[in-house]
Structure 1
Amino acid sequence: MATATVDAILDRVCEGYDLSPAEGVTLLKQTDSNIISGIRDTADKLRQQQAGNTVTYVINRNINFTNICEQHCSFCAFRRDEGEVGAYWLDWAQIREKTTDAVRRGATEICMQGGLNPEAKIDGKALNYYIKLVETIKQEFPQLHLHAFSPQEIQFIARLDNISYIEVITALKNAGVGSIPGTAAEVLNDAVRKVLCPEKIDANTWLEIIETAHKLGLPTTSTMLSGHIETPEQQIEHLEQLRLLQQKAIANNYPTKITEFILLPFVGKEAPKPLRRRVGRDQPVLKDALLLTAVARIYLGNYIINHQPSWVKLGLAGATEALKWGCNDIGGTLMEEHITTMAGAIGGTCMEVEDFQKAITTSCQRPYQQRDTLYRVF
């Protein structure tokens, strides 16, 4: 593709036009460093126009309440069978202890997700267990925002209890869930999903549950697991699905919508061997993640304003570099992180606010500001 053609594409998006899928693929397939620099600069310019110059972050804690899971995703080093070495299931006291510690350390958010444990029921109902998870936190700490339970977990509850997604989401919202993480998206292409996560919900179900949450007044995030077996065309298909979903929420005036996009590059060091061998490397390729970060900003930024890298997967240096490629947010402190770390990530499990601030100042000389889950700044 001639430089002039890429320049024409970038000129159009700077005027406010949306990338077409074909144009998105064109940008992702560039290999010339000068052209890629132009894509980076365009993403950075759009970031400034759409989200401003301030880099935001949230003080939060991850609570992965169990790693016992009925599914066997090909990329996952976190899951265990019940009784297997390393399997765990937090009790109510442990969840309260972790939450109390998070509040003491200034957290405004608890992000809570876990494995799909078919024994996680109260009075024979999965929904009762998940409501108790929420109430264990919210009754003692009503001020905390609870960002909890992926679309996969919502489908799991609905399937076990033979109820609708609407019933599950409504009950969780009434109990105190404030937003839903848009994880389990992986890549929204069912051919890819058959390799990565054949037991997981399909792409349309993920989209349906996210849209249902928006209709019911629960905001969500959005993610993509990248850098494994997917093609540039499939990456753009994923971004297109997210853009259409957000456009629908806006057009239909749903009470909530997607708040952010997070790119999650694949970490394979401890992943199951078949996928690890197929991918052929243990850690993300930073240059590939950065180009996709930039194209995601260009593709989605008119509709999903906030873009965030994963410091757990890229390391803090990689994540702060992503601030020059279209990201306006550095993510959360997490305090503990198990899923990616058990896959062999080198980014760490906890980030101090001071480390965020120093890295932002050093890497890009932009101001920083604490935010809450819904991007309201303090």
Structure 2
Amino acid sequence: MKVFVPLTTLCRDYCGYCTFRRDPGEPGGRTMTPAEVVALVQAGGRLGAREALFSLGDKPEARFPSHREFLRRHGHRTTLGYLREMCALTLRESPLLPHANPGVMAERDLAALREVNVSMGLMLETISERLLRRGQAHWNAPDKVPARRLRTVELAGKLGIPFTTGILVGIGETARERVDALVAIRDLHERYGHIQEVIIQNFRVKPRIPMRLAPEPSPEDMLRAIAVARLLLPSEVSLQAPPNLSPGVYPRLLAAGLNDWGGVSPLTLDHINPEAPWPLIPELRRATEAAGFTLRERLAIYPGFVTRAEFLHASLRPRVAALVDGTGLVKESHEHWRHW
């Protein structure tokens, strides 16, 4: 279970499908203070959450003077520096383990964040440079250049960071481009062995986005993408599709190759898809068991990485070890959801 921490909704990119980002002065356009972060992660800890998922816009200081002033008041020049402090604060003030999704990063940023995150993530989204053209999903989004995103995923591998990535389905890409993106992810994992999870995420229409009139992918589109991903990716790479974005088709998702439901939250909504409430854990448990599987809780770092010293900073190893059993999953005595 997780707590979703929307550290800042400010972002220098304007993606056609995004309802998370805001400009300063817009409703919801803000950056969380340290006190707000602490209050949220402590509340999550009281409910039995294990993960603090930090999501934030990409490099807002490059576009907004007011955000640069916010950072200056808090002793930082960059949003990534502030993020590192908030991850460290989470470790000091709560039982939660941080997992950050901060966008495109340089090697020094990844190295600094590795010290205070058990895993990290960046959605590749697509390999298509065609979507950077005027009128396409990534036209006004400098951080969505595929080569820059692939470089971040590669650097994470070089640094030994357990990493989550994935693709978006239905943002204008072709079926071939989906395959090409999955192959690029597979190739990086075969080189570095650091991809713990690939997310297949479907586009959802939202009222205020530029792509509000675009068609959503069909359930069949999603099932095909999941099945192709399962065929292309190594078996040790888990496959996830957000359950709140595909209600009613859980058995078909599992049959297509899904083996992970991702993080759900007992406290916070999905700030990326606020229109889509999380499913209840008992609902996921019933669907999982009906398909012949067992529902177990994992940490933000996957079981295959928890005992591999090269993939976890030394300061984080004792905290992780205290929570997991011999399989690398959360000890059943710590699975609070079983008592709900």
- Normalised-by-shorter TM-score class: 0.7 to 0.9
SS at match of 1:358: helix
Partner AA of 2:25 in structure 1: G
**CA shift for structure 1 position 271:** 5.1
Identity of aligned residues (%): 22
From the CA coordinates, give the structure whose radius of gyration is larger: 1
Deviation at 1:189, TM superposition (A): 1.7
Report the equivalent of 2:296.
369
Unaligned 5+ segments in structure 2 are: 62-66, 304-327, 331-340
Q: Residue 136 in 1 paired to residue 89 in 2?
A: yes
Cα deviation code 1:160-184 (max 9, x no counterpart)? xxxxx2211111122x12211122x
CA distance in 1, matches of 2:81, 2:184: 32
Superposed CA RMSD: 2.0
Partner in structure 1 of residue 245 of structure 2:
313
Deviations 1:113-133 (Å, cap 9, x if unpaired)? 112332152435114312221
AA matched with 2:292: Q
Residue 330 of structure 1 is matched in structure 2 by: 261
Query: Which residue number in structure 2 is paired with residue 169 of structure 1?
Result: 110
Q: Distance in 2 between matches of 1:95 and 1:352?
A: 25
Retained in 2: the 8 A contact 1:68–1:79? yes
Structure 1 residue 66 displacement after superposition? 2.0
Give the TM-score, by structure 2 length: 0.79
Q: Distance in 1 between matches of 2:5 and 2:76?
A: 24
The answer to whether residue 283 in structure 2 is matched with residue 355 in structure 1 is yes
Check conservation: 1:179, 1:219, Cα contact below 8 A.
Answer: yes
For these two proteins, the number of residue pairs brought into alignment is 289
Deviations 1:204-258 (A, max 9, x none): 11111111112112111111011231111111111111111111114xxxxxx00
- Which letter does structure 1 place at the counterpart of 2:3? R
Determine whether 1:226 maps to 2:226. Answer: no
The 8 Å contact of residues 56 and 102 in structure 2, kept in 1 or not, is answered as no
Q: Of 140, 146, 157, which residue of structure 2 is paired with 1:214?
A: 157
What letter matches 1:276 in structure 2? R
- The SS at the match of 1:64 is strand
Q: Which segment is superposed worse, 87-96 or 98-107? A: 87-96
**Code of the aligned partner of 2:161:** L
Q: What corresponds to 1:276 in structure 2?
A: 212
2:317 maps to what in 1? none
**Alignment correspondent of 2:64:** none
Write 1 or 2 for the structure with the bigger share of helix: 1
> 2:179·2:228 contact (CA, 8 Å) conserved in 1?
no
1:186 aligns with one of 125, 144, 148:
125
Residue in 2 that maps onto 1:150:
102
Letter in 1 for 2:204: V
Report the counterpart of residue 222 of structure 2 in structure 1: 289
Corresponding position of 1:61: 3
Q: For residue 223 of structure 1, give the secondary structure of its aligned residue in structure 2.
A: strand
CA distance in structure 1 between the partners assigned to 2:293 and 2:152 by the alignment: 36
**8 A contact 2:126–2:168 mirrored in 1:** yes
Report the secondary structure of 1:135's partner residue.
helix
Residue 259 (str. 1) matches residue 196 (str. 2): yes
Q: Once the 2 structures are TM-superposed, how far is the Cα of residue 69 of structure 1 from its aligned partner?
A: 1.9
User: More deviation in 60-69 or 74-83?
Assistant: 60-69
Which residue of 2 is the match for residue 242 of structure 1? 185
Q: Could you report, residue by residue, the CA deviation over 1:267-289 in whole angstroms, capped at 9, with x for unpaired residues?
A: 1232524x333x3x3x4411110
Give the alignment's TM-score, normalised by structure 1.
0.71
> Partners in 1 of 2:177 and 2:90 — Cα distance?
39
Q: Give the whole-Å Cα distance in 2 for the aligned partners of 1:319 and 1:91.
A: 37
- 2: distance between equivalents of 1:269 and 1:172? 32
Query: What SS is found at the alignment partner of 1:212?
Result: helix
Q: Which residue of 2 is the match for residue 85 of structure 1?
A: 27
> In the TM superposition, what is the alpha-carbon distance from 1:314 to its structure 2 partner?
1.2
Q: Distance in 1 between matches of 2:299 and 2:259?
A: 14
Given that residues 186 and 193 in structure 1 are in contact (C-alpha distance below 8 angstroms), is that contact kept between their aligned partners in structure 2? no
Give 1:107's aligned residue.
49
Q: What is the SS of the residue equivalent to 1:221?
A: strand
- Give how far 1:196 is off: 1.7
Q: Residue type of the partner of 2:255? A: K
Output the CA distance in 2 between the equivalents of 1:271 and 1:292: 27
Per-residue displacement from partner, 1:110-160 (whole Å, max 9, x unpaired)? 11111233215243511431222112211113x5321103342x3xxxxxx
Inter-partner Cα distance in structure 2 for 1:219 and 1:85: 35
Matches within 5 A, 1:114-129: 114-116=56-58, 117-118=60-61, 119=67, 121=71, 122-126=74-78, 127-129=80-82
Q: Structure 1 91/108 Cα, relative in aligned 2: closer, same or farther at 3 Å?
A: same
DSSP 3-state at the match of 2:114: helix
CA contact (8 A) 2:11 2:21 kept: yes
Deviation of the 1:328 alpha carbon: 1.1
Letter of the structure 2 residue corresponding to residue 177 of structure 1 = N
Contiguous gaps of at least 5 residues in structure 1: 1-58, 155-164, 251-256
Q: Tell me how far apart the structure 2 counterparts of residues 249 and 261 of structure 1 sit (CA, whole Å).
A: 15
Q: Structure 1 CA distance, aligned partners of 2:195 and 2:113?
A: 18
